[in-house]
Structure 1
Amino acid sequence: MPLLTIAGLPGPPLNVPVGTTVLAAIHAAGHDWWHACGAKGRCTTCRVRVLSGAELLAPLTEPELRYRAAGRLHETERLACQARIRSEKSGVG
């Protein structure tokens, strides 16, 4: 199972099943992560900055592409509610 390290969250890296969103993994580990739109990809409050392992995430979703085109989501950022783990390799963080 891939490991997800979130800087600033206490505890060890999170084990994340492939296909799970970053937000779901954070919540499953018992951490709170703000998502004002209810994890629908309609805001950017759940954004995370990907420091390494971006290639282990599924491609940008349509909401992420819209926010990126509007300048509201930088190249190194993803929406935690939209970004899904797609690889068995560890190191996403």
Structure 2
Amino acid sequence: MREELSLLQQNVLERYQKLAEVLHSLDSTVKQFNDSSSENVSSEVVLQQIREIEVKIGLVGTLLKGSVYSLVLQRRQELERTLNS
């Protein structure tokens, strides 16, 4: 059957297979998390904690982008100074 598929079709099927494997792994991880949880933590509490983490990650990402942008501008100014000298 593989001979009947184009290279693109084979690549798409391989990616779907990898996605399915990752989703199965995620499913088993979530099941382990639910089974090993000794406390009765509601999904709302977990969701709130994930949202807090997401906000913090977003803030770190924004700060990183700002730092990189500042560094790029600083280097551009230094380069312009050396060219003008």
Normalization by structure 1: what TM-score? 0.17
Larger radius of gyration: 2
TM normalised by structure 2 equals 0.18
Larger relative strand fraction? 1
More helix by share: 2
